[in-house]
Structure 1
Amino acid sequence: MLSQNTLSKRGVMAATDCYIVHEIYNGENAQDQFEYELEQALEAQYKYIVIEPTRIGDETARWIAVGNCLHKTAVLSGTACLLTPLSLPPEYSRYVALPAGALSVACSALYGISWQFDPCCKYQVEYDSQKLSRLPLHTLTSSTPVVLVRRDDIHRKRLHNTIALAALAYCAKKIYELYAV
């Protein structure tokens, strides 16, 4: 873990709870240093993390986007699974509800396995220019930094897990009715 003295030299803004991963190349292992700094900042749970190195910033933004996609897919497909029987005739609803339910369960499980314990899942990419204007971005050398903001994701996880479990229960019931009866 970086010492507080090292952190203050590298860009910690204690007043705004912001950490900046500066793009300063000090030798051939600079990329590893950037990754290490980002990992330490994520584990330290700063409110804002500004990532100046383009490659790491883009990779982090894509990782967060994939996690968001899995979450949204789990919620929307699970909702479709649960609402389809209300809107389609019973003989047709299973052709939509069962695949949608399976997709919801699969996305929720994949999110739980791959993202749940990653400290990066607690962050979202910040695009709001009003919020970004309050950060010390004027000190950066990069014109396109990636800014992460820490958000509580407990409600988000509960939502997609609840919907996925309800979809799983519905699918199990329908499969039992189709094959056991």
Structure 2
Amino acid sequence: MVDIGAGDSDMGPDDIAIIREVYDNENAHEAFELELEKALEAGCSIIVVEPSRLGDETARWISVGNCLHKTAVLSGIFAVGTGLIWNERPYLCTPLAALSLLCTGLYTISWQFDPCCQYQVETGTDKLGKHPALAGVVPASSVVLVRKDNSRRKILHTSVSLLATAFCAWRIYDTYK
């Protein structure tokens, strides 16, 4: 376990980083952000963020990325589904495919290369109890980030979006040729 607030920077992917809420100067929030960046770039398996403002900002950023991912996948699936059900009306599936492509593009531009997208917010106390190193360490107001492999997720939403776009383009071409 690495207590980031103590200034230790030797972190690895198996470490648990704890960003302590210690206000020792007027630039404390910037120091918290820097500590979070170090932990994210080191790829720590679990990051505990004690400062509530930073934890809330990080949790919102992750939830917006999750929303874009889910919207891209669901609208892409519904685009193909509506294109198959109402095959004589390709204009019904086109807006859904466009939404899927737009969400995938936004995710790719804004989230794909951000190290924060490799983490999910862990909210269940039962799941946190599975990590013995966190027992009694995590305050209730903390945000806990758990590193997850998201490569399949990126491939899924990109594939679904491209498939939906190609399918709708083919439906429009086939209808108006």
Residue 144, structure 1, aligned to residue 141, structure 2: yes
CA separation in 1, counterparts of 2:168 and 2:88?
15
In the TM superposition, structure 1's runs of 4+ consecutive aligned residues that sit over 2 Å from their partners are 5-14, 85-88, 133-140, 174-179
Q: Deviations over 1:22-45 (max 9, x none)?
A: 000011000000000000000000
Q: CA 1:13 to 1:43, structure 2 compared with 1: closer, same or farther past 3 Å?
A: closer
1:52–1:144 contact (8 Å) kept in structure 2: yes
Question: Does 2:165 correspond to 1:168?
Answer: yes
What 5-or-longer segments of structure 2 have no aligned partner?
none
- How high is the TM-score relative to the length of structure 1? 0.85
DSSP-derived class of the 2:136 partner: helix
Give distance in 2, aligned partners of 1:72 and 1:7: 33
Aligned counterpart for 1:114 among listed residues 107, 110, 117: 110
User: Is contact 1:17-1:46 (8 Å) kept?
Assistant: yes
SS at match of 1:49: strand
1:14-163 matches, within 5 Å, as: 17-88=15-86, 90-92=87-89, 94-133=90-129, 134=131, 135-136=133-134, 138-139=136-137, 142-163=139-160
Return closer, same or farther for 1:72/1:10 CA change in 2, 3 Å cut-off: same
- 1:73/1:124 CA distance change after superposition, 3 Å: same
What TM-score do the two structures reach when normalised by structure 2? 0.87
CA 1:21–1:130 in structure 2 vs 1: closer, same or farther (change >3 Å)? same
Q: AA paired with 1:162?
A: S
Alpha-carbon offset, residue 71 of structure 1? 0.3
Alpha-carbon distance, 1:130 to partner: 2.2
Q: For 1:177 and 1:102, locate their aligned partners in 2 and report how far apart those are by CA, in whole Å.
A: 18
Q: Name the amino acid aligned to 1:173.
A: W
Aligned length: 172
- Would you say the 8 A contact 1:78–1:163 is kept in 2? yes
Cα pair distance change 1:102/1:8, threshold 3 Å: closer
Displacement of 1:19? 0.3
CA shift for structure 1 position 127 = 1.7
* Contact map agreement 1:10 1:22 (CA 8 A) in 2: no
Identity percentage over the alignment?
51
